Every structure is written in structure tokens, then in C-alpha cells.
Structure 1
Amino acid sequence: MTYQTFDPTALSQPDLHAYLLAAIGPRPIAFASTVDREGRRNLAPFSFFNVFSSNPPIVVFSPARSGRDNTTKHTLDNVLEVPEVVINIVNYALVEQMSLASTAYPKGVDEFIKAGLKPIASQTVRPARVAEAPVALECSVEEVKALGDGPGAGNLIIARVLRIHIQKDYLDADGSLDSSKLDLVARMGGSWYCRAWGDALFEIPKPIRT
């Protein structure tokens, strides 16, 4: 086997970004709903996202600085003003509307309207939920940690889950989330996505413990 080896410090930021995002995937998508101090809604997807603890229930996502002009995302600006967020989970039925919401609209533009999605009131936080999302997590923002101040630098938003909303259609007879019904999507490199559906899903029994 032969390898091409890189020193990350020798690559341009766009090239390093492209290699990392193509290699590390599929990545789940946080469709994050926030508000600014004036109550204006924002909705944007982020694939630097995962769950990191169940006790306490903690999810983390990272809005990165723009690789073009080093500006920050409205989502980051909003959680610094109002430390609350709703993480809406994206399935295949939502993916086109999610993509519409990813457009870099001017501050104050409501992506719920642009993407044709229905906002519904949350129980414990000010940002609205996406009615169409199969799962929505109401969260308080516990900490924001900047990882740098240059183009492409991430900002870890560490959020505690306060409420979990699940559309009943995605539950099985035992009340558990059914992966075969959820039809989740995830990000790959470039403009590529993947879909957790049909033959893409498989089970591997856990090894026998001795």
C-alpha cells in the first residue's frame, strides 16, 4: 500500500477543510434554531455535531468561522446573546428544505420562511422547533468555546438537553426510535450526503462477553 501524507500546517485552509470533511463522515446534522436578543429567528444546519453524554444529556455542535471572510455564523452570535438552541434532527424528507436554510441570508432573515418550514413553540426555551423534524431537542447552552480566531476555526457550543420531542410515527411498538423509519441523512465531503435507509442499514451483534 502507498500513501500520500500531509502536514496540516502546509495545506491551505480550503484544502485542509476539504480533506477533513471528505475523510470524516458520515456526519449527523444539527438543524439549529436560535433567536437573537430581539427575538428574531434563525435556522441553520451544522454537520460538526454529535451527542457526547447521556448523563447529563449533552450535545455539541460547532459553527465555524467563514473560510472566505472570517465572519461568524448568526447561530453563534445568537447563542452568545440568548444561550438557548433547539437541535432539530434531519431526515430525508427534510433535506431539501434544510439545504435552502443553509444559504447565507442577511442578519434578521427568517430561514423558517425561506425554507417553507413551520415553527412551533418550544416548552422550555425561546427558539422555535421545526414542526416537520422527526426529533427535536430543546437545549440550554452551557458553554461556548472558541477553537481559534482565523478562517475555518470552530466554536464548540456545548448544550444540555432539556426536552426531547419525537414524532410518534417514528416510534416502534415498544416506544423506541425505529432507525428503519427515521430515514436519517448525514453529510459527506463536498456536496455529498448519505442516507440511512434500506440496505444501508445493518446490524452487528455485540461480541460475547467472557
Structure 2
Amino acid sequence: MLLSSIDIEALERRRRAALINSITGFKPANLVGTVDKDGHTNLSIMSSLVHIGSNPPLLALIFRPDNTERHTLDNIRQTGSYTVNHVNGSIVDAAHQTAARYPRQVSEFAATGLREHWQDGVAAPFVAEASVRMGMKLREEIPIEINGTHMVIGEIVWLEAPDIAINDAGALDPALADSISISGLDSYYRSDLLQRMAYAKPDKAPERLDS
């Protein structure tokens, strides 16, 4: 397959969306938990989470244009708080169902059978069934003019992960946490560690670390 920009633009809308959403490869599958100022909870699956920096610990999400109701984005704006929860293999069906367009008054927690978990110091609901969970504080929202999307940058203020999934360098091993990846909009994958590599230096050949 070889496509020019003209060819891409000429693709049928759904085929173009399927291709461009999947061309980046595997993306993290996360459930974003929020609550509005009146106490109505919301849960939404998102795959746009990216690392911004470690000090302070910042992560960013990309939200689609808010020319229609965006409950998650609205709630984050109202409260300044949200949670990010890794999807694991036991909750893929329920996690995927949160993408359905439920009315604002219907909580995706109740609709999918996932359970709310509340933690002191975080004013938004976690997913009880998730083993990797992050409480987030809104730090900045950046409108992206080229397509009307929004980048929301948050700081991790609370973090939970299984001890068994933290390697000797202090990093999370997604495979040991059973964290699921997404390709495109509807395909879910488990990961396995291929190899770990030593810190790259210009005067040294690539070096594998023992797993």
C-alpha cells in the first residue's frame, strides 16, 4: 500500500479513520474516571496518554473537539481532578463498552458493571478492578487549533501498581501488570517483554540486559 496525501483524503471516512488511528501501532488502553460538580461519575476509555515529564510527573491526554458533549473533558474542567486506570485482561469487554455514548446522567461504572473506588486526596473515582491506577491533578489545557482537539496535561498526585510489576530499575513492566494495549479503535493486545537494553552511549556497542 502506498498513499499520497490526496489518496488519504480520498479514502472513505471510516476506512481513513481506521487506518490513521492504527498506523501509530500499539497504544496504552486506559480508563479515565471523573465526576462532575453534582457528583455524577463518568468513565471513558482513552488511548492517547503520553509521558510529558518526570519532575514533576506529567502525563497528557488528547481530547477530541468539544463541539458536542464531552463529559470527561467537562468534568475535568469543573473539578480539576481525574484518574487514569490501566485496562487489564479481565475487564476488556467492560472497558470497551465505556466508549458508548451514554447520556450524561448515566454513569459508565453502573452501565458496565465496573466498580468505583475512592481514595483520600483524589476527588475522582478510580476503577476498583484496575491494578495500575493514577490520581491526576489538572495542570494545563492546550487547545490545538489545527483540528480543534485539546491537550490536557495532568500531574500524578497518587500512584498504585503491583509490586511484582516493578522491575529492578524501578520501571513498570506492563506485561507483569497485565496492562492491555489498543491498536486502532477496537483491537486489544497483551504484551510480552522481548528484551531490555543498557543505557545507550556513543562509545559502546548496544548491550542487552538480563531480563
Same fold (TM over 0.5): yes
Partners of 2:168 and 2:57 in 1: how far apart?
25
SS where residue 181 of structure 1 aligns? coil
Please identify, of 16-25 and 42-51, the stretch whose mean Cα deviation from structure 2 is larger: 16-25
Shift of 1:191: 2.0
Q: TM-score, normalised by structure 2?
A: 0.82
Q: Tell me the matched-pair count.
A: 201
List per-residue Cα deviations over 1:62-85 (Å, max 9, x = no partner). Answer: 22138xxx4142101111111111
CA contact (8 A) 2:132 2:177 kept: no
* Mapping of residues 1-210 of structure 1, within 5 Å: 3-7=2-6, 10-11=9-10, 14=14, 16-65=16-65, 70-148=67-145, 153-168=148-163, 170-171=165-166, 177-197=172-192, 201-206=193-198, 209=201, 210=203
CA contact (8 A) 1:65 1:154 kept: yes
Q: Summarize the Cα distance change of 1:190–1:119 in structure 2 as closer, same or farther, 3 Å threshold.
A: closer
Q: Summarize the Cα distance change of 1:3–1:155 in structure 2 as closer, same or farther, 3 Å threshold.
A: same
Shift of 1:57: 0.3
Partners of 1:139 and 1:202 in 2: how far apart?
31
CA contact (8 A) 1:141 1:159 kept: yes
What RMSD in Å do the two structures reach over aligned CA positions?
Answer: 2.7
User: Where do 5+ consecutive residues of structure 2 fail to align?
Assistant: 204-211
Partners of 2:22 and 2:175 in 1: how far apart?
25
SS where residue 119 of structure 2 aligns? coil
List per-residue Cα deviations over 1:91-138 (Å, max 9, x = no partner). Answer: 212211101222110002111111212211122221111111111111
SS where residue 127 of structure 1 aligns? strand
Partners of 2:93 and 2:8 in 1: how far apart?
35
Percentage of matched positions with identical amino acids: 24
CA contact (8 A) 2:30 2:87 kept: yes
CA contact (8 A) 2:87 2:130 kept: yes
**Paired AA for residue 164 in structure 1:** L
**Paired AA for residue 64 in structure 1:** R
Shift of 1:203: 0.8
Q: Summarize the Cα distance change of 1:164–1:190 in structure 2 as closer, same or farther, 3 Å threshold.
A: closer
